Structure 1
Amino acid sequence: MRNRPSKSDLFKGRHFEQAIIILCLRWYLRYKLSYRDLVEIMAERDLSIAHTTILRWVQRYAPEFDKRWSPFSFQAGTSWRVNETYVRIRGRWAYLYRAVDASGKTIRFRLDPRGNVASAKAFFRKAVRFRHRSPETITLDIYAASHRAVRELQEQGWLPDLTKLRRREAAEAR
């Protein structure tokens, strides 16, 4: 397991205090504020910050905050809906695997150039590991590789045998 940098090491050498950086990031990520809105809010507090500085903070710290906070952000429901689609991103085709719970919250997604059983298994393993628990029900579309991947993961012990596997028909998918 990789050691994460401590909070003080994470902000070492920054011009602004870590409390200001965290406050700007929290407001940007939680509320739909633009960088320029945050500049105005900070100016009201007698802090002169450029919008590009906040942009750099978001690029630098948002992935780290996501890694640290996302396991605690919400508990995914016990019923997952999983679908796969083929999308074009920057001129290249890729398979998009996506799992959402019953309330529509995204559990996990994965882009993969190959849409095979190994890719589907990697997606499910990562989703279960990320949420720290297995779903009770998985609803899949007609993509055969996902059905096979779930069966193999149940045989290997990654998913409990009690996990119900349902198939969504093509007419329901529309």
Structure 2
Amino acid sequence: MAHNGEPETVTIDESGANLASLEAINAEREIPTSIRQTKYLNNIIERDHRAIKRRTRPMLGFKNFRGARILLSGIEVTHMIRKGQMKDDGVARTAAEQFYLLEI
């Protein structure tokens, strides 16, 4: 949902099906969603999830959903810390310090 009455922006690849469905949704909305198309968006997403694929492929799947959720969440958090996407309250911390602060 949009916050404070501002329109949201959705970034999609140049798939016609995605564009058609978003345009149909916009027809019903009071504040339409702006659509930004990127030709090679799927490549960007696949590159970002390469670390997850590398970790999970040798495992041949998960025994249950809970285990999958825990492992994938940990991988994503570690990735976010490494990319500098975690909030650090203006204090410069190493990736290890940020990770250890998560358990507090």
Q: Place the TM-score, normalised by the shorter chain, in its bin.
A: under 0.3
Q: Greater strand percent: which structure?
A: 1
Q: Greater helix percent: which structure?
A: 2
- TM-score with structure 2 setting the length: 0.27
Higher relative contact order (CA 8 A, sep 6+): 2
Higher gyration radius (CA): 1
